[in-house]
Amino acid sequence: MATLDQIFLDGIFPAQRTDDFFDALLGSAEEGAYDIRLVCRNVTSARAQLAFELRRRPGKCLVCNLTYGLPQVFQRHPVLDVAGVAREVAQRLGWPENTPWKLEPTEEISPELHAIPLVLERA
Query: Tens of pLDDT along 23-36?
Result: 998 898 988 889 99
Q: What is the 3-state secondary structure (H, E, C) of the chain?
A: CCCCCHHHHHHHCCCHHHHHHHHHHHCCHHHCCEEEEEEEEEECCCEEEEEEEEEECCCCCCCHHHHCCHHHHHHHCCCCCHHHHHHHHHHHHCCCCCCCEEECCCEEEECCEEEEEEEEECC
Taking 80 as the threshold, does the pLDDT of residue 85 lie above it?
A: yes
Confidence of residue 66 (pLDDT cuts 50, 70, 90): low
